[in-house]
Amino acid sequence: MDLTSLNDDDTDARILALCQQAATPHGHTAAVCVYPRFVALARQALATQHTPAIKVATVVNFPGGDQDPDAVLAETRAALADGADEVDLVIPWRALMAGDEAPARALVSRCKALCGDRVLKAIIESGELKTPALIRAASLLAIEEGADFIKTSTGKVPINATSEAARTMLAAIADSGARQRVGFKAAGGVRSAQEAADYLGMAQELLGERWPDAAHFRFGASSLLTQLLAVLNEEEEGVASASTY
């Protein structure tokens, strides 16, 4: 999970609390995802609480996907300099819908060149692309231009992660032969343990039982963590109760 806070009114205190929440009794989240202005703060907070394994992710060209490419690259450089481990890039999906792949291809390629061995996640905004054909095209171009993950959504549009879009994107990873290099992230609207289990099962079905791990499979969520911890705590209490008989 990328434990996420991407609110216009985010504060230093909220981001510090987010970093603390990312370290749970049941293990750490894969990353915290914050706006670029909070990257340095999150980096320092995670170091101070001795959880360096938790990555710092940030977002660029977010949420609209229509910023000037040079501005996006400058924001990416700054975030990396501040200590971002992972960059979630919104592709220019409107141009893709209009039949022009070139802006998305160029931006993914240039951002990946800046990221180097750090992780680039391409947000295709599947809820706006809508059709399986466009979702597949966006997924494949992001994979071809070097993205390390393809991600469903910003979480800022009416329709975010759906099982239909996820299946199309996971199939694109399988069909491209990139399953060892490219991961998948479902973001926006995944709130329950059952929904998370359904997505996990789909990934295992299409890409193999052992494929989903932190390097290949993520959820972008905030409320999901609370639900998962509640389930895990109930399971622990059940085991404890059973052991007393």
Catalytic position from the list 82, 85, 88, 148: 88
The H or E element spanning position 32 is: strand 31-34
Catalytic position from the list 55, 112, 121, 151: 151
Could you confirm whether 12 is annotated as catalytic?
A: no
Catalytic position from the list 55, 112, 121, 185: 185
Are 72 and 105 contacting, i.e. CB atoms less than 8 angstroms apart? no
Q: 46 is written with which tokens?
A: 């995670």
CA 22, CA 2: separation in Å to the nearest integer?
9
Could you confirm whether 151 is annotated as catalytic?
A: yes
Token match 């997924």: residue? 139
CA 48, CA 50: separation in Å to the nearest integer?
5
Are 187 and 157 contacting, i.e. CB atoms less than 8 angstroms apart? no
Could you confirm whether 8 is annotated as catalytic?
A: no
State the catalytic residues: 88, 151, 185
